[in-house]
Every structure is written in structure tokens, then in C-alpha cells.
Amino acid sequence: MASTTSKPTGDSRNIWCRRVTILVIVIFSSVFCTIASAYTYNGEITSITISPSTIHGGDNITHSITVQNTGDDGLNIKLLVSGGGDSSQTLSNIIVPVDQTSIIQLITRAPAVDSGQITFTYQLYWNRTSPDSEILLDTETRSVYINQSAPSTGSLYVTSDPSGARIDIDGSYRGTTPIILSGMTTGLHTIIISQSGYNDYFTTATVYAGQIRTVSGTLIPLTPAPDQTGSLSLISYPSGADVFIDGSYRGVTPVTLSGLTTGSHTIIISQSGYTDYSTTTTVYAEQTRTVSVTLISSNPAPAYTGSITITSFPSGADVYIDGSSYRGITPVIFSGLTTGSHTIRISYSGYNDYSTTATVYAGQTTKVTGPLNPISPVPTTSPAAAVPTATIPQTTGSFDPSGLIILLIIGVLVVVGGYVGYYGIMKYNAEKTPLSADESIKILKMRYAKGELTTEEYFQMLENLKK
């Protein structure tokens, strides 16, 4: 009996097809899940403010645009403002967080015309990085009216309390308060208001074309009011030293002197066998200022002591050594200090403290200079002139399709690869697996029925197969 070998049947082929189909379903399910979870990038212009309210030819125009992120991811935007006879202005790479707004300001210049209406166009783009292109999210327009060209000068109205004070503008005498100064050139001017018995009042003011700028100065008396007094607490080492304030004897240390007028006072602390200590200090209203000093022996300093000379810019600063209380004001010389390292702090109202460490050498004088830096004021801003704003309708957002395209390409490659592999395996099995005798006879009969074989060839081949 002829031997037979098996080859893949129709059922096994169906199993392979089902496996490939399941793989395709899984891939496309992942693609659609990615589509469902993709971020949307959307934004809109919610308001536009244009200032100043009155615009002349050649003026600078400030545009304040409020942009809101209405998508579900951080929005990288570009804002383009064009029109008005000026070149377009662009701001890019502005990140607006989710569900938040950002106010963007741009400045353009009005065309040099006597009068007329100009229109500005505001375009909001999503600054997409992949693929490298921009998507327009919103467009708005605003029109403003240009008035006749503004005059080139303005005026200053200067007052003071008390009145009758001298006025100097940009270094030149201009009269006494109150006064209106017309024909002032536009721009920034320096103003000094001064009067005998009062501190000078300094300020700056910007003159605008065709406008009157008011400057009011309250002058502060040089001599404080009688009820404005403070106190001094004076301590010396050793104690029992005589105290002189502004040349008048006021007792011995330690002592607290109250009822002193505010302002600067000269202090001398003196004791037999010691060098007199002299300094000046400032008394503040309703405050107690402490002055603590170590008196230096009038005998020559021993070899294990030295001196420190301390100066500052500006001078008149308070000096503290080794963390102790107040030791005097700059410029000052401290003698009889022990050799070695000493910590020095220099303090002056309105300036940052200066701290350093200095080494004292026996029989020598160490110099310390403290450059004091002014404390930076906190900047303030004034709101722009209000202009009616409009409510902008919502716009349609868009999402980034780059990730979807990549996933689709991967899916197609996987499906094609599966089919190619499947048919390759089928062909390989067909070539390598020999046919059984029954299958060979079936094929022989089909060829005979089609007329591919003569009767003699058919029976000869059939006989061979049966053998």
C-alpha cells in the first residue's frame, strides 16, 4: 500500500487567517484610542485695548491683547498685529497655560497723517512645532481715529506747600510757586523746589504735547517740630566717662538722655587716662538710639593691639564691630583693637548693609572701605487707559495629527508583513511536502479531462503511480 504524508488542511489555514485578523484589530484599536486621547490645542482673543484714547499722527500706540487657552494642553502661540500704515509686529513662543489667560502688549506707530481712520488686524496662531507649521486660531480687527497732528510742546503747573518757593527746571531758574510754565518741550524734565528753612524737593516729570502736567511739592522744615523728640542711650567701657552733647555736659556713662530734638547731634565721651571719643549720630522721633563705645587708653598701645580705619561711600554710616552694639559713624578710626580677625558691619538708611572681615596686625592700621549700594525701589506700573472691549466668539480648535499618521503607517506595515509571511509559509510547505498517491491520481485525472494528456500517456502514468 502506498505511503502518504499530511500537509496543512483548510482548518489550519483558517486559524492563521484568524490570528492575522485579530492582530489587525488590536493595532487599529490602539490607533483609535490614540485619536480619542489626543490633546486639542485651541485659543481665542477675548479682549483688545488700544491706548492712548486720543491718538495723533506719529504717536506710539499700545495694543493690549488678552488671549485665553481653551484647549486641554499648554498652548504655544504667535500673535501678529498689522495695519495702520506701519510694519507688522510679531511676538512668538508665548506659552499660555491650560484654562488661563495671558495679556500681551505690542507697540506700533500711528501713520503721520493729519486725521482719518485706521484699522488694525490681530491674528492668533498656534505655533505648532511638529509638523513645522502654524495654525490660525482667531482673527480680530479694531479701528481707531487719528486726530490732527499734536503740538510739539506742553505745560507744567508747579505748586508748593508753603508757596513762594524757588523753581529750577533742568538747572535753570524759572520763577516761584505757584506758576504755569508753557512752551515746555515734550519729554522728561528735572524739577527742584527750594525755600529757605526747608529741605529741597526733588522730582522729575514728563511733559506731553498739548497737555498740562501738575507738580506739587510739600517742603519739609529743616528744624523739626518741638514735639518731635527722641532719646540717646550712651554706654562706655570703662563706665563713668563724661558725656557732652553738642558741646554741653549731660552726665556720665551709662546714661539715657531723652527729649533730644530729632536730627544730627555731636557726641564726645571723655575720661581721664583715655583718648576722647567723638562722633555724630542721628536722633529719630520717638526712638532711642544706643551708642556704645570702648575707650582707648591714652598710653601707647601694647604690641598685641592694632587699629582699623573705616570709611564708606556715602559717609556718615553706622559702624558695628564683632556683632556688638553701635560703635560710631564713618569715617572713624578704632585703636587698641586686639590682633586677629574682626567682623565689621556698615549700615546706612536707604542702603544695603556692607559686611566684611578685617585682620588687625600688632602696631599697624588696617583700612576698610565699604561701598554702599542703594536699596532698589519696587517698580510700579500704571494701568493703560480703558477702551471698550468686545466679547470674542469661541473658535474651533484642532489637534496634532502627526502621532496618528505614524501609528497608521506602522499598522499598515504590520498587516502587509503578516500576509507576506503567511503566504511564504504556505508556499514553502507546498514545495517541501510530497503529494500522496491518491492526490497524484486526482491531479492526473484532471489533466486527462482537460485534454492535456493522450489516452496512452494517461494510462502509462496511472500504471506508474499504482506501482
Distance of alpha carbon 277 from alpha carbon 290, whole angstroms: 15
Q: How many CA atoms lie within 13 A of 124 on its CB side?
A: 32
* Residues 126-133, mean pLDDT to the nearest whole number: 72
Task: Determine contact, residues 141/96, Cβ cutoff 8 Å.
Answer: no
442-450: Cβ within 8 A, 24+ apart: none
pLDDT tens-digit map of 1-46 = 344 444 445 556 667 767 777 877 777 666 555 554 456 778 899 9
Distance of alpha carbon 408 from alpha carbon 416, whole angstroms: 12
Closest CA to 369 of 431, 314, 438: 314
DSSP 274: B
- For residue 113, the model assigns a pLDDT of 66
Residue with cell 593691639: 305
Closest CA to 399 of 94, 131, 68: 131
174-180: Cβ within 8 A, 24+ apart: 177/217, 180/155, 180/156, 180/212
Dihedral angle sign, alpha carbons of residues 178, 179, 185, 190: negative
Residue with cell 530734638: 261
pLDDT tens-digit map of 185-222 = 888 999 999 998 889 999 999 999 889 999 999 999 88
pLDDT tens-digit map of 331-357 = 888 888 888 899 999 999 889 999 999
pLDDT tens-digit map of 75-92 = 888 888 887 665 678 888
Adjacent-strand bridge partners of 221: 198
Task: Please report how the helices 402-432 and 10-37 are oriented relative to each other, as an axis angle in degrees rounded to 10.
Answer: 170
* Residues 138-166, mean pLDDT to the nearest whole number: 85
Q: What is the mean pLDDT of the chain?
A: 80
- For residue 271, the model assigns a pLDDT of 92
Q: How confident is the model at residue 114 (pLDDT cuts 50, 70, 90)?
A: low
pLDDT tens-digit map of 395-406 = 444 455 666 788
Provide, rounded to the nearest whole percent, the portion of the chain with pLDDT above 70: 78
Task: Determine contact, residues 56/148, Cβ cutoff 8 Å.
Answer: yes
Distance of CA 212 to CAs 52, 185, 384, Å?
A: 16, 12, 19
Distance of alpha carbon 378 from alpha carbon 292, whole angstroms: 35
